[in-house]
């Protein structure tokens, strides 16, 4: 059944195109079109959500379909398809089709022969498993590169480079990612701490002040403890940074700077776990950007820290 009118209220006010893509109009380039749809789908409801899910389930078919055909297949209406295109930042359906066609064409020409969504069976050889993992991770990193606003990375790097204290907040897997960032910053002389306990994190956040930086990590942007700690830091005047996969999430909404990541969820790995490598890539970029902006201090600190642990490395030729 096609919902010609009933979908209007559900499809109008959910996605802000500027929030889905902070780089500008999505129609400017076709890079990362499906990643943008995937990132925005979680913020859609009703008919618009059905359109997004249908496009993601078979992008090549969507690129070939007319607006009427796509409306019928997704159980919506041509008017809903038009609203969906505008929500994604396109002027119309023709631009969306061209973007999807260009992206799926590049995927084929680049040799994307692995069916990422195929469930891994117990009898599958490790070579197949490896292909699945590599394809999913590589695609997620390319999608993240397309989504990421480098101006936001620049703002975060400048803030961290000038901060007297950096607090990193995250829970569970996000805490592990935060620990990697804390270690990297610490090696170049940036005073950074990572907190995954909400009581300790809130106490530390309460001591932050203007000029300090707080980084909250949560793929969904819905982790209550991380939101509370970042909010406390912001209330004390610290510059707040969110690393998340959802631009309209509560974590992103309260942050001064938002760094977006994409993930390639599969049947063998949940979305949050799939986001781990893209998160590390973005934080590695941020770390290097900070090191560039504090080159002399960072170089000296790295040299001293390397010398401090050098005596604990096994001598060449020593027996194991």
- Tokens linked to 226: 């991380």
Mean pLDDT of the chain: 82
Same domain, 203 and 100: no
What is the structure's pLDDT at 316? 60
**Is 166:215 a contact under the CB 8 Å cutoff?**
yes
Say how many C-beta atoms besides its own lie within 10 A of residue 129's C-beta: 13
- Whether residue 305 sits in one domain with residue 213: yes
Calculate the alpha carbon distances from 73 to 38, 105, 180, 251 in Å. 19, 22, 45, 34
For the cut 50, the answer to whether the pLDDT of residue 26 exceeds it is no
256/44: higher pLDDT: 256
Residue 88 sits in a domain whose CATH number is: 1.10.10.10
Is 237 a domain residue? yes
pLDDT tens digit string along 162-183? 999 999 999 988 999 999 999 9
Q: What tokens does 109 get?
A: 């020409």
Q: Tell me how crowded residue 253 is: count the other CB atoms within 10 A of its CB.
A: 14
Query: Is position 200 within any domain?
Result: yes
How many domains, the chain? 2
* Of the candidate ranges 26-35, 79-88, 275-284, the one whose mean pLDDT is the lowest: 26-35
Question: Cβ atoms within 10 A of the Cβ of 180, count?
Answer: 16
How distant, in Å, are the alpha carbons of 2, 36, 42 from that of 71?
A: 8, 20, 20
Residue 9 has pLDDT above 80, yes or no: no
Same structural domain for residues 67 and 150? no
Say what the pLDDT of residue 168 is. 98
Quick: pLDDT tens for 111-148.
Answer: 444 444 455 677 888 988 888 788 878 888 888 888 89
Residue 200: count of CB within 10 angstroms of its CB? 12
pLDDT in tens, 254-311: 999 999 998 766 656 666 667 888 999 999 999 999 999 999 998 898 889 888 888 8
Residue 76: partners with Cβ closer than 8 Å, 6 or more residues away: 2, 3, 7, 47, 50, 51
In a domain, residue 172? The reply is yes
Q: What is the phi/psi pair of residue 262, to 5°?
A: -115, 160
For residue 243, what are the β-bridge partners? 217, 259
Whether residues 86 and 150 share a domain: the answer is no
Which of these, 176, 203, 138, 142, lies nearest to 272 by C-alpha position?
176
The model's pLDDT over 47-74, given as tens digits with 9 standing for 90+, comes to: 898 898 888 888 888 888 889 889 888 8
Does 248 have pLDDT greater than 90? no
Of 104, 128, 161, which one is at a domain's C-terminal end? 104
**pLDDT greater at residue 105 or residue 30:** 105
Structural tokens at position 211: 């000029």
Residue 293 lies inside a defined structural domain of this protein: yes
User: Are 156 and 305 found together in one domain?
Assistant: yes
Condensed to tens digits (0 to 9), the pLDDT of residues 72-82 reads 888 889 899 99
Residue 254, φ and ψ in degrees, nearest 5? -95, -10
Beta strands in the chain (DSSP E): 166-170, 192-195, 213-217, 239-244, 257-260
Which of 259, 262, 296, 295 is CA-nearest to residue 181?
Answer: 259
pLDDT value of residue 89: 84
Identify the CATH number of the domain in which residue 296 sits. Answer: 3.40.50.10490
Confidence of residue 30 (pLDDT cuts 50, 70, 90): very low
Is residue 1 situated within a structural domain? no
Token digits of residue 283 = 């934080």
Q: Are residues 159 and 69 in the same domain?
A: no
Write out the residue range of the structural domain in which residue 224 sits.
145-309
Whether 316 maps to a domain, the answer reads no
In this structure, are 253 and 154 located in the same domain?
Answer: yes
Distance CA 79, CA 118 (A): 33
- Is 16 inside any structural domain? no
Same domain, 187 and 83: no
Residues 185, 259: one domain?
A: yes
- Looking at the fold, whether 95 and 195 belong to one and the same domain comes out as no
Residues 160 and 279 in one domain: yes
Note whether 95 and 151 are same-domain residues.
no
The confidence score (pLDDT) of residue 276 equals: 86
- Name the packing angle between helices 78-87 and 93-109 (round to 10°): 70
26 falls within a domain: no
Task: Return the H-helix or E-strand segment holding 210.
Answer: none
């Amino acid at each position: 059944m096609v919902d010609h009118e009933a979908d209007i209220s559900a499809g109008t006010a959910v996605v802000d195109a500027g929030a889905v893509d902070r780089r500008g109009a999505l129609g400017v380039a076709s890079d990362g079109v499906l990643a943008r749809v995937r990132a925005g789908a979680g913020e859609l409801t009703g008919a618009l959500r059905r359109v997004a899910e249908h496009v993601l389930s078979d992008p090549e078919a969507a690129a070939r379909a007319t607006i009427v055909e796509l409306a019928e297949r997704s159980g919506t209406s041509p008017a809903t398809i038009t609203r969906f295109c505008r929500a994604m930042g396109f002027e119309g359906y023709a631009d969306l089709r061209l973007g999807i066609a260009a992206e799926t064409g590049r995927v084929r020409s680049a040799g994307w022969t692995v069916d990422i969504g195929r469930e891994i069976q117990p009898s599958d050889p490790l070579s197949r498993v490896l292909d699945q993992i590599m394809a999913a991770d590589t695609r997620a990193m390319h999608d993240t590169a397309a989504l990421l606003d480098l101006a936001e990375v620049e703002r975060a790097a400048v803030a961290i480079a000038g901060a007297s204290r950096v607090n990193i907040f995250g829970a569970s897997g996000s805490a592990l990612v935060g620990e990697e960032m804390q270690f990297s910053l610490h090696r170049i002389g940036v005073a950074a701490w990572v907190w995954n306990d909400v009581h300790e994190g809130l106490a530390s956040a309460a001591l932050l002040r203007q000029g300090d930086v707080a980084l909250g990590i949560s793929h969904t942007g819905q982790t209550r403890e991380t939101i509370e700690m970042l909010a406390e830091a912001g209330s004390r005047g610290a510059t707040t940074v969110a690393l998340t996969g959802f631009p309209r999430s509560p974590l992103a909404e309260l942050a001064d700077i938002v760094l977006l990541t994409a993930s390639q969820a599969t049947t063998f790995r949940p979305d949050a776990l799939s986001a781990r490598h893209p998160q590390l890539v973005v934080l590695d970029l941020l770390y290097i950007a900070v090191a560039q902006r504090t080159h002399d201090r960072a170089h000296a600190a790295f040299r001293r820290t390397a010398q401090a642990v050098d005596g604990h490395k096994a001598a060449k030729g020593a027996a194991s």
